[in-house]
Every structure is written in structure tokens, then in C-alpha cells.
């Protein structure tokens, strides 16, 4: 189904011009642009080389500190959305750097954030009064309106990917933010407290759900990676995804974050996936291995810590050269709540 714009006539053009100052627009003149037969997005496929982003961040560290910048981040801005600070139409992506001895000062905001650690020999983040050390591959959550700050007590820089729902919150005009006034918040709980309380298939008696975000805020890489290896033994390979798992909220089994879905998948060497498309535009980070992904007919060669984006309803398939592990995130929880999410597997048609 398509909605073609009616033929333009002098009478119609004069009418459109006359109603414009009155804040009116004729639906029939724009219907085909706003109700499309399939998703139509300005977001385009693109890949960012980590080595390039890393080099630029180190260059930036010579003239701006983490404290002055508040967050020393280079935005991964989609070429089809330049000037909007977006990696997809609903999500933000950036790479953050904290140098040895630095602190990114404590603040909070209504935007939810994830961190996926790319390079670290030390360093920590504190969320809601609990500190956690950050290791490569850790998936760390900063819930909506929780105080958070980051520090680096090691001798080496630490880099991580920031994923936030900034465009979504901005679209809803629901942004609030506040600075603590101190570089670091008080630490009131022992390290590992949230994982011990909620990460062992147990919940404290009397626990009441207070937020839609997972009470675990650091999902350690070692545990996540081992889960993929356990699944490998059954060889239940999905033709579109290999072995793909999602990070969950242990309270209800739902998504770990209310607005952002996060995944980890294993692709064995030589396993070429079949084409897949879905309505949730997705950001990918290869963690292990090398290979290529064909996105909308365009081939992207990747290696560990590069970042690439697959737009909504854009066909993608992956071709790993060796065993590869990919982290990814999207806005799927929002789409599912609204009954909008769809997928198409292989070459099947609806």
C-alpha cells in the first residue's frame, strides 16, 4: 500500500500557502511521507574504527580534562543524522575516556545509560552508592535518575562504549539532569552487593520492585562469556543469530533496561548467518574475532572493538572468519511495549 501525493494544481498550491500561517497542513499532501508501507529511516549503515576513535580521544585528553568535559566522549554520530547526536533515530552512542587519576564527576539524569567496557586495566564506576571495578566486556547499567561517577586509579587509560536513550527522552521532552556538587558520591554498599543479592537466581525476602531497571548494574564479562560457551555444547545454532542471548532483569525475566535491549552472541568461525531484518535499529560491537557484516548490501569488515550500526528494517548477515562474539543494543523493549516490533528471517515474506 502506498499513498501517492495528489497531483499539484495552482488552486491546491494556493490553498496550501493560505493555510500555512494558520498552523494547518493538508494531510493528503504529506500522507505518503508519514505513513509508509515499510520503515523509512534517515539512519544509514556505518562503521567506526576503534583505533581511530581511541586516537582522537587521547588527542582530546591533552586539552580537556574529564572533569571539565563532565564526560569526555566522542559521539558516534550517524552520517544520515548529522548534527543530532544520534547513532539511530532513538539511541545515542559514544566512546568515553577516563585517564589515570581522573574522575568524571557525579551527576544524574532521566536518560538511562549502558556502558560496555572496551579497554581497561583498572578503573571503576559508582552507581547509587555502590562501586564496581570495570573490566573489558563488562555490561554496566546506569538507571534513570541514579547518581553515577567514574574514576580511574590505574596507570592506563580506560575506554568504554556509552549507549543512552537520549533521543527518545528528548523526543518526549522529559529530560532532567542534576549535578551532585562533589566529584564522587559516598559509597554506602560493599562492592559486589547487587550481584550477590540479585544475581544468583535468588531475591531477598521482602524485595519489592521499585524500578523497571535491573537491580544488577554490572554483568561481568566472564559470566556472560561462559554462558555462551555452555550453550555452544548443545549446538543449537540459530541460522540468523548463531547463539544470541539477552541481558535480563532477574526480578521478572524482562529486559535489563526499560528502553534499551542488550545482547551478546557467539558466531562460530565459518558460520555465515542468513539475512535478518527487524524494526529495532541495532548498534554492534565485535568483542572477539574478525569478519564482516553485509548491511543493506554494503559490506563492513570488522575486528574487535569496532562499532557498526544496522538501521531499522535493513537486512544484515554476518560472516565471521573465526569464532566471534558480538555485543549489541537496540530500542526493542520500547517497540515491544507499543506493539510495534517486527522481524523478518531469511528471505521469508509477510
Q: What is the CATH number of domain 46-344?
A: 2.60.120.10
Question: What average pLDDT does the structure give for the chain?
Answer: 95
* Phi-psi sector, 171: left (phi>0), alpha (psi -120 to 50), beta: alpha
Dist CA 7 CA 275 (whole Å) = 38
Cell of 330: 537496540
Tens digit of each residue's pLDDT (9 = 90 or more) over 115-137: 999 999 889 999 999 999 999 99
350 pLDDT tier (thresholds 50, 70, 90): very low
Dist CA 144 CA 165 (whole Å) = 10
CA distances from 266 to 241, 256, 290 (A): 8, 20, 12
Q: What is the strand order of the sheet 113-119 is part of?
A: 73-75, 92-98, 158-164, 113-119, 139-142, 218-219
Question: Three-state DSSP class for 15?
Answer: helix
CB burial string 301-312: b at 16+ within 10 A, e below: ebeebbbbbbbb
**What pTM did the predictor assign?**
0.95
347 pLDDT tier (thresholds 50, 70, 90): confident
1 pLDDT tier (thresholds 50, 70, 90): low
Q: Residue range 271-276: average pLDDT? A: 96
Q: Which residues contact 22 (CB under 8 A, 6 or more apart)?
A: none
CA distances from 223 to 140, 226, 349 (A): 13, 5, 37
Q: Which residue, 116, 110, 80, 79, is CA-closest to 95?
A: 116
Query: What's the pLDDT at 5?
Result: 86
Dist CA 238 CA 273 (whole Å) = 8
Q: Which residue, 338, 341, 339, is CA-closest to 280?
A: 341
348 pLDDT tier (thresholds 50, 70, 90): low
Cβ atoms of residues 107 and 142 within 8 Å: no
Tens digit of each residue's pLDDT (9 = 90 or more) over 207-240: 888 889 999 999 999 999 999 999 999 888 999 9
Amino acid at each position: 500500500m502506498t499513498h501517492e501525493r495528489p497531483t499539484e494544481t495552482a488552486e491546491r498550491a494556493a490553498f496550501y500557502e493560505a493555510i500555512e500561517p494558520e498552523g494547518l497542513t493538508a494531510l493528503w499532501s504529506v500522507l505518503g511521507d508519514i505513513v509508509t508501507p515499510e520503515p523509512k529511516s534517515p539512519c544509514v549503515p556505518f562503521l567506526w574504527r576503534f583505533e581511530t576513535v581511541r586516537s582522537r580521544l587521547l588527542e582530546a585528553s591533552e586539552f580537556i580534562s574529564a572533569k571539565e568535559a563532565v564526560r569526555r566522549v566522542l559521539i558516534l554520530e550517524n552520517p544520515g543524522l548529522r548534527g543530532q547526536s544520534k547513532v539511530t533515530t532513538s539511541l545515542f552512542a559514544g566512546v568515553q575516556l577516563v585517564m589515570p587519576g581522573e574522575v568524571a564527576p557525579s551527576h544524574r539524569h532521566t536518560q538511562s545509560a549502558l556502558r560496555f567496557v572496551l579497554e581497561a586495566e583498572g578503573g571503576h564506576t559508582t552507581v547509587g552508592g555502590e562501586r564496581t571495578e570495570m573490566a573489558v566486556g563488562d555490561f554496566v547499567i546506569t538507571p534513570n535518575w541514579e547518581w553515577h561517577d567514574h574514576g580511574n586509579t590505574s596507570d592506563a587509560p580506560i575506554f568504554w562504549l556509552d549507549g543512552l536513550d537520549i533521543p527518545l527522552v528528548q523526543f518526549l521532552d522529559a529530560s532532567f539532569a542534576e549535578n551532585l556538587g562533589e566529584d564522587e558520591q559516598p559509597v554506602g554498599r560493599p562492592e559486589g552487593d547487587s550481584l550477590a543479592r540479585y544475581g544468583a537466581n535468588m531475591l531477598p525476602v521482602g524485595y519489592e520492585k521499585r524500578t523497571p531497571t535491573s537491580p544488577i548494574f554490572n554483568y561481568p564479562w566472564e559470566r556472560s562469556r561462559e554462558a555462551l560457551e555452555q550453550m555452544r555444547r548443545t549446538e543449537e545454532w540459530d541460522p540468523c543469530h548463531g547463539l544470541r542471548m539477552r541481558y535480563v532483569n532477574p526480578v521478572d525475566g524482562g529486559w535489563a533496561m526499560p528502553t534499551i535491549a542488550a545482547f551478546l552472541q557467539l558466531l562460530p568461525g565459518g558460520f555465515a548467518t542468513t539475512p535478518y531484518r527487524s524494526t529495532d535499529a541495532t548498534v554492534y560491537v565485535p568483542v572477539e574475532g574478525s569478519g564482516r557484516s553485509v548491511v543493506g548490501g554494503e559490506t563492513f569488515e570488522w575486528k574487535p572493538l569496532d562499532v557498526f550500526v544496522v538501521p531499522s528494517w535493513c537486512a544484515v548477515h554476518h560472516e565471521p572468519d573465526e569464532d566471534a562474539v558480538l555485543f549489541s543494543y537496540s530500542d526493542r523493549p520500547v517497540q515491544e511495549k507499543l506493539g510495534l516490533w517486527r522481524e523478518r528471517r531469511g528471505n521469508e515474506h509477510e
